[in-house]
Amino acid sequence: METQLGFIDQSFNLRYSEWVSEALNELLDSFTITDPCVDGHPIVFASNGFLKLFGYSKDEVVGRNGRMFQGPDTDRRSVMEIREAIREERGVAITLLNYRKDGTPFWMLFQMCPVFSKEDGRVINFVAVQVPIARERRRSGHGNEMSLCEDGAGFYESAFRCCRREVCSASVSELGHALELASSHDDGEVEINEPCEASETEKRKAAVAASNILSVLTHYSEMTGRLVCRKRCCFTANGHHAASLNKSLGRIKQSFVLTDALAADMPIVYASEAFLKLTGYTRDEILGKNCRFLSGMDTDPTTQYQIKECIRTERVCTVRILNYRKDKTSFWNLLHISPVRSASGKVAYFVGIQVDDGCKNQETQVLSPEMRQLSVVGAVKVAVRGLSMGASTSYK
């Protein structure tokens, strides 16, 4: 175990420099950093706020998988959603029931986001922020109920005094609120039978914490020259290959978009000229966005769900969906979606081909809509696989 911990510390510090742990521990939030490249996807860093919240020591946590904090009442579906996000290398925010070292359960907002290598786009780490959620508590032997945020004032004052001047701000009140939850869990009985939703304040706290952590990691990666970033670059770090792919895709005259299957929220990374003409948007207005911006008030949610499930299961699907142009006019879109795999066999993109189902010009088309869709899928797959094969050769 000591050998593994030494390897983990060495790997983490080589990526971010030896001062990164000290800088991260100046942040008062509860969070962990894991390494998906190491067998078992272990925790490689646990903040002081996390150790205080869960009641563990550093040696008890580092090198272990995050499943150690789950218990009998942890929702299996929530766990599967987190695993799916890890598999897809994207972020996720979800309420989760976890357990402290002494066995007491508590609800928290779990927000996780990937950290990418700026060099080749690989996922280097996952950052997971834990924000306790305020719940109603019943005091033992009393009929009255009180909010969790009404007790633990002394603990808050202590935390406030310990806070370094440069990080003390309006957010300290939110920090104190979260620390109260951690310090007072034995004062009463917490209801855990029903899930709870995080407040906007708690969501904001998690987002700010994640942003601060990523800023620290980015800064300390610059000191080693092994740069990390918050978002995977489109296509590849090699600009020549990206330009080559754009050139190949530009020869396709049909309306289609290419989305990044490995990035959070599957942003559009390429849009054809025919797509821009069909929808009325410019390329700058849609690159980096999810395709849901084409939906509107009368778009069928059932069809949207069908699309989402096909993407989740990496299956081909064809649907007829009501979409909207930039000028708010609607059109029936005969949409075909297909996964596009890289040379390694992993789904790297999804291609979505749009056919205006009410367009009169279709009568002059030699090929049917289905054949046109399949021809686009084939051309895109050839271009992407050729790109990935060339990229893998250049990195050897």
Distance between CA atoms of residues 280 and 54, nearest Å: 52
What's the whole-model pTM score?
A: 0.51
| Closest residue by Cα to residue 45 from 83, 81, 85, 13 | 13
**Residue 71 pLDDT:** 93
pLDDT, averaged in runs of 10, over the chain (396 residues): 54 79 93 87 94 95 92 92 86 94 94 85 89 66 41 38 40 47 44 75 94 93 86 50 69 89 84 92 85 93 93 92 95 93 82 82 59 84 67 37
Is residue 111 classed as helix, strand or coil in its secondary structure?
Answer: strand
Give the pLDDT of residue 159: 39
- Give the pLDDT of residue 174: 47
Q: Which fold has domain 239-394?
A: Beta-Lactamase (3.30.450)
- 338-357 in b/e form (b: 16+ CB < 10 A) is bbbbbbeeeebbbbbbbbbe
Residues 6+ apart with CB under 8 A from 30: 47, 49, 50, 52, 53, 54, 129, 130, 131, 132, 178, 182
What is the pLDDT at residue 327? 94
Q: What is the pLDDT of residue 243?
A: 58
Residue 132: partners with Cβ closer than 8 Å, 6 or more residues away: 30, 53, 106, 107, 108, 178, 181, 182
CB atoms within 10 A of CB 7: 13
Q: What secondary structure letter does DSSP report for 363?
A: G
Q: How far apart are CA 92 and CA 260, in angstroms?
A: 16
Q: Do domains 2-229 and 239-394 have the same CATH topology?
A: yes
C-alpha 253/C-alpha 275 separation (Å) is 9
**CA dist., res. 233 & res. 117, Å (int):** 9
Cβ-based burial of 202 (10 A; exposed 0-12, middle 13-18, buried ≥19): buried
DSSP H or E segment with residue 127: strand 123-132
What pLDDT does 205 receive? 95
CATH architecture of 2-229: 2-Layer Sandwich (3.30)
- Model pLDDT, residue 6: 53
Question: β-strand 330-341 against 317-324: which pairing, if any?
Answer: antiparallel
Closest CA to 373 of 347, 334, 343: 334
The domain limits of the chain are 2-229, 239-394
Q: What is the pLDDT of residue 257?
A: 93
